[in-house]
Amino acid sequence: MDVAAGVPFTALPPAVPVSGPVPLVVTWHMLDAPCTDVSFAAALPLREVPAWRVHLGMPMCGRRMRAAGMQAIVDLAREDAVRSYVEPFVRQASEEFPAVLAELRARFPVDDGPVGLVGGSLGGGVVLEVLRRGRVPVSAAALVNPAIRARSLVAVLEGIFGWSYPWTEEAGVVADRLDYVAAADAVAVGRPAVLVVSGEEDHAPFRVDAVALVGALRERTVAELVTVPGLAHALAEYPGVEPAPQSASAQVVDDTITRWLLSCLRG
């Protein structure tokens, strides 16, 4: 089992062998399908990117899953969507990343330059938090149907589960901190090039936030929004735990992110 600093991962080498160190691209998967590092690697292998692509497992997912499986994650969302679900996942994944990165660089023939980051849904929130914290130099980031504002994610969960979230002052403070449109200044420090891939059929609040984030970032760095026709939120069939053949929609997303990373790596 591949593990770095306690975090399981799936690593894919460059499709074409190269001599010397190559760039590193790191991803965080969705909690929707695909919801593990191995299934996300199958959905978005990014084969044409001349880099090591390392797909990290999110907390409590895949090889770190609790005995109750995905139900344990659902229970956290029901318990407190902000303080037990969104914030802990984003915080833990972003906090453990610098140590993971150091170990990956020691184990793989990658260069020591800025990395590329990719995240789907809540994994996209992790990418934005890594950018906001600014502890790791990043050349380019690609977000797929990302969770950009905690309040929007709560609204989506309310629709899915059919309940109303009991907002408290503390939850509001946390949610405001996890609003990456409002935090665009911090996200753009270092001028990473940011691509947002938004499914035409993704949750409406996420689509609104995608437009708002790109608009805010364009005032500060290179940013682009690409809408994928017919794409809903997930990139694979439910439950999305095991690797599966790449869907047509995922192929479009893969191609879009590949073009973005290639242009940024070459730039």
Whichever domain contains 9, its CATH number is 3.40.50.1820
Answer whether 4's CB lies under 8 Å from 103's CB: yes
| Model confidence at 175: pLDDT above 90 | yes
Q: Indicate the pTM of the whole model.
A: 0.97
Torsion, Cα 198 204 208 213, to 10 degrees, reads -50
Average pLDDT rounded to a whole number, residues 239-267: 93
Answer whether 88's CB lies under 8 Å from 147's CB: no
For residue 69, the model assigns a pLDDT of 77
Average pLDDT rounded to a whole number, residues 152-164: 94
For residue 70, the model assigns a pLDDT of 82
Split at pLDDT 50, 70, 90, the class of 201 is very high
For residue 16, the model assigns a pLDDT of 85
| Model confidence at 90: pLDDT above 60 | yes
| Model confidence at 68: pLDDT above 80 | no
| Model confidence at 266: pLDDT above 70 | no
Average pLDDT rounded to a whole number, residues 224-245: 96
Q: Which domain holds residue 125?
A: 3-266
For residue 19, the model assigns a pLDDT of 80
Concatenate the DSSP letters of all residues of 157-226 into one string.
HHHHHT------HHHHHHHHHTBTTTTHHHHTTT--EEEEEEETTS-HHHHHHHHHHHHHHTTTS-EEEE
Domain count, the chain: 1
Q: List the single range of 15-24, 96-105, 144-153 with lowest mean pLDDT.
A: 15-24
Answer whether 178's CB lies under 8 Å from 125's CB: yes
Average pLDDT rounded to a whole number, residues 34-58: 97
